Amino acid sequence: MKNALRFSDAEWRVLKLLWQRAPQTSQELCEQLEPETNWKPSTVKTLLSRLVAKGAVQTEAHGRAYLFTAVVSEAESQRAEAQSFLERVFSGGVSPLMAHFVESHDLTDEQIREIEALLKKTKRKDRK
């Protein structure tokens, strides 16, 4: 099993872009991040370095610059972070957590139906 890397808020933002499309240059990333975050290029570079140092992102030389690619999977990262969150905030209780999200977010009927379907499928699977 993987060592479950943890990422900071800022690192998540960068990773999300790399999961959407990769490889990308730091410049491309800067362009996408600047509007929402106002981060200077130095900031983005620092974050990328840290991600590379952590082994979450890989580089590939492309002339003068690097091309960055995420090597950790989004699903796995979400899993780890969700687990930690669940533990910390809801003491591991999935039901309270689900209740919380069902109640505090206005789900559309569409979404509710999706979730109901998921639940049904899960119930069947666990049966045998």
Partner DNA sequence: AAAATTCGTCGACAACTGTAGTCAAAGAGT
Partner DNA sequence: ACTCTTTGACTACAGTTGTCGACGAATTTT
- Can you give the binding site for a copy of itself, defined by CB under 8 A? 9, 12, 16, 77-79, 81-82, 85-86, 88-91, 94-95, 97-107, 109, 111-112, 114-116, 118-119, 122-123, 126
Cα Rg of the chain, angstroms: 19
Give the span between the Cα atoms of 76 and 60, in whole angstroms: 23
Q: Which of 85, 55, 68 is nearest to 29 (CA)?
A: 68
- Token pair recorded at residue 4: 């479950």
Q: Which DSSP helix (H) or strand (E) runs through 69? A: strand 65-70
In this complex, which beta carbon is closest to a copy of itself, that of residue 61 or of residue 109?
A: 109
Per partner kind, with CB cut-offs from 5 to 8 A, the member of DNA, a copy of itself, none near residue 25 is DNA
In this complex, which beta carbon is closest to a copy of itself, that of residue 55 or of residue 96?
A: 96
In this complex, which beta carbon is closest to a copy of itself, that of residue 65 or of residue 118?
A: 118
